[in-house]
Amino acid sequence: MQEHDLWNHNNYAVPPENLALIEECISTLFPWERWVHQDEMVGYRFQKVSEKGMAFFRPAEPVGEYVRLIKRLRATTPNLDAALKGIEGLPADMNDHNGFIVKSVEEWEERLAHFQTAAEERPDWQLTVVDYHRPGDPGALTDRLYQAFLRIRLLGPVRNTFEMQALNPEAAAS
């Protein structure tokens, strides 16, 4: 019997014009199984048991209009631009994000390096490694976890960051 609530999915409404690039980006950078591919939704599951983790990306024209409007207003409204830059500049762990944990530190390191390379090689994916910490690093949030905050701006100007974690084997042993 399940003893507590369990988060099992995240849904992203995205600009329709970004859906194909989002699908290419997610399918390339994350080893998640794409198990829904429709015009109105692309869905991934993290394990064979769907209820243990999924992410959905759904095109929504109001989101596309919102993104275009924010872009135009940022150019002409300094206070809005400053506020959004302030949100983007928040400490990574404070900003809106969704977290997932990978199997090992080695996998975490490989996936972080892959994301960093893709950020350089695929500017159209609008990727940023916002921050990352290894246990013992100055500024590390905990010694229990390796943490990397990965932003995909194709998702929109907010709610666009994932935290990838790996459990520190030394902390798990104690």
Q: What is the CATH number of the domain that holds 153?
A: 3.10.180.10
Q: Are 132 and 148 contacting, i.e. CB atoms less than 8 angstroms apart?
A: yes
Residue of 102, 115, 113 whose CA lies nearest to 146: 102
What pLDDT score was predicted for residue 66? 96
Q: Is residue 117 part of a domain?
A: yes
Q: Is residue 1 part of a domain?
A: no
Name the packing angle between helices 105-121 and 19-29 (round to 10°): 140
What pLDDT score was predicted for residue 99? 92
Q: Is residue 80 part of a domain?
A: yes
- pTM score of the predicted model: 0.91
pLDDT in tens, 46-83: 988 878 899 999 999 999 999 999 999 999 999 999 99
Contacts 24+ apart (CB under 8 A), 135-144: 135/168, 135/170, 135/171, 141/93, 143/168, 143/170, 143/171, 144/168, 144/171, 144/172
Q: Is residue 56 part of a domain?
A: yes
Q: Is residue 4 part of a domain?
A: no
Fill in the amino acid letter for 144.
Answer: R
Q: Is residue 88 part of a domain?
A: yes
pLDDT in tens, 117-154: 999 999 999 999 999 999 999 989 899 999 999 999 99
Q: Tally the domains of the chain.
A: 1
Domain that residue 79 falls in: 9-173
Stated length of the chain: 174
Q: Is residue 3 part of a domain?
A: no
Please check the confidence at residue 2 and state whether its pLDDT lies above 60: no
What pLDDT score was predicted for residue 87? 92
Please check the confidence at residue 103 and state whether its pLDDT lies above 90: yes
Q: Is residue 152 part of a domain?
A: yes
Q: Which run of H or E residues covers position 11?
A: strand 9-14
